[in-house]
Amino acid sequence: MAKVTEEIVKQSAEERLAKYLRTVAHLGHVEITVTNFEASLDFFTDIMGLVVTEIEGDRAYLRAWQDFDHHTLILQASNVSQVKHMAWRVSSDESLKLFEKQLKDMNIDFTWVDGGTKKAIGDAIQFKSPSGLPIELYWEKEKFLTEDLNLISKLPSHPSKFRMHGVSPRRFDHVNLLVDDVKKEQEWWTNLLGIHHRYYIKNQEDVRLGSWLSRTNIAHEVALMRNSNQNGSKFHHLAYYLDSPDELIRAANIMAENEIQIEWGPGKHGTSGAQFIYVFEPSGHRVEIWTGGFLIFSPDWEAIEWESSVGKLGLEMWGSTPPESYFTYGTKIGE
């Protein structure tokens, strides 16, 4: 603690305040392109049970029934399936300017996108991580509002009615990416974006196999896993959250009945304590449906180490073995 305090006193109040303001608040949405737009849209609405906010041109804006924002997932028709942006809301209306300054100081290229250019989003700033992962930061985003009587709930806490069709998760949860150097990438995210390091797995050679990070109290909002093939970054999956293990079993039944391949699961991550299944949507993106696990409240949390002897339990504590594809397959990272 002493060392940290020492560093802090050397900073001016302005510098320290800027550091507080220059953080993300939470993961907002993910924007992906899909080679089979119709089938993917059908998967996310009929099978997954997400709600369509709107479809405009080649894009569909989707959310889970209790996601409060306009969208948490954007599907865009394309001839390639890739992730275009992982978009984070920042912590205050001053944050974007502070991020701009910081990016300049770090010599990182960035692009401003004016408010209104992207549907439901205010001014945004876009840039890439060292491994080429596309990040977007914004402060303003419209809430989900509807005049559709079939969607309006009498409960003020429900931006739309509980959806009684398909998997019907409660909310968007996290994204996961394969990169070649997990440790380097994790440190960059934590330092630049203020996303706390929550837990990690190492192998016997002390190589970081995965790191999980969050700004909020959930176990992670973004995960970085080592690409076993060491052939660059890939989009591993996006995840939505269910309320119970029982709902996860129901989700697995729905997949099995509807020709959606379950890659792995039901299983339980020892790291987070969350139960999961992984499936592939029709355009090739991996989707995780998960539930449970722990929350992290401590303001000085130290990342939990899962060293090699327990790393397998960190991945799956009941004893199943992840398929080879889990460590190598991902969809593309958008240019």
CA distances (Å), origin 90, targets 98, 117, 322: 11, 18, 35
CA distances (Å), origin 108, targets 102, 130, 164, 192, 256: 9, 9, 45, 11, 45
Contact 117, 165 (CB under 8 A): no
Nearer to a second copy, 62 or 333 (CB): 62
CA distances (Å), origin 176, targets 210, 214, 305: 10, 12, 19
Residue listed under structure tokens 């080879």: 324
Nearer to a second copy, 56 or 206 (CB): 206
Q: Which of 215, 235, 26 is nearest to 131 (CA)?
A: 235
Which of 71, 197, 226, 268 touches a second copy by CB under 8 A?
A: 268
- Beta carbon of residue 14, minimum distance to a second copy (angstroms, whole number): 4
Question: Residue count at the site for a second copy (CB under 8 A)?
Answer: 77
- Structure tokens of 49? 């049970």
Assess 204 for contact with a second copy (CB under 8 A): no
Contact code string over 298-327 relative to a second copy, x by CB under 8 A: xx----xxx---x--xx--xxxx-------
Which of 134, 284, 292, 334 touches a second copy by CB under 8 A?
A: 292
Q: How many CB atoms lie within 10 A of CB 28?
A: 24
- Beta carbon of residue 321, minimum distance to a second copy (angstroms, whole number): 10
Contacting residues for 148 by C-beta, under 8 A, at least 6 apart: none
Contact 269, 316 (CB under 8 A): yes
- Beta carbon of residue 10, minimum distance to a second copy (angstroms, whole number): 14
- Beta carbon of residue 101, minimum distance to a second copy (angstroms, whole number): 15
Assess 128 for contact with a second copy (CB under 8 A): no
- Beta carbon of residue 193, minimum distance to a second copy (angstroms, whole number): 14
Q: Which of 174, 86, 99, 79 is nearest to 131 (CA)?
A: 86
- Structure tokens of 293? 């696990």
Residue listed under structure tokens 């339980």: 268
Which of 117, 203, 217, 231 touches a second copy by CB under 8 A?
A: 217
Nearer to a second copy, 37 or 264 (CB): 264
- Region of 6-14, 108-116, 128-136, 280-288 interacting with a second copy (CB under 8 A): 6-14
Question: Which residues, numbered 30-89, are part of the site for a second copy (CB under 8 A)?
Answer: 47, 49, 66, 68, 89
Q: Tell me the β-bridge partners of 218.
A: 295
- Beta carbon of residue 110, minimum distance to a second copy (angstroms, whole number): 22
Estimate to the nearest angstrom the gap between the alpha carbon of 199 and the chain centroid: 16
Nearer to a second copy, 45 or 227 (CB): 45
Helix (H) or strand (E) holding 332: strand 332-333
- Region of 16-24, 35-43, 102-110, 179-187 interacting with a second copy (CB under 8 A): 16-24
Assess 257 for contact with a second copy (CB under 8 A): yes
Strands 196-202 and 304-306, sheet pairing: parallel
- Beta carbon of residue 299, minimum distance to a second copy (angstroms, whole number): 4
Contact code string over 162-201 relative to a second copy, x by CB under 8 A: x-xxxx--xx---------------------------x--
- Beta carbon of residue 333, minimum distance to a second copy (angstroms, whole number): 25
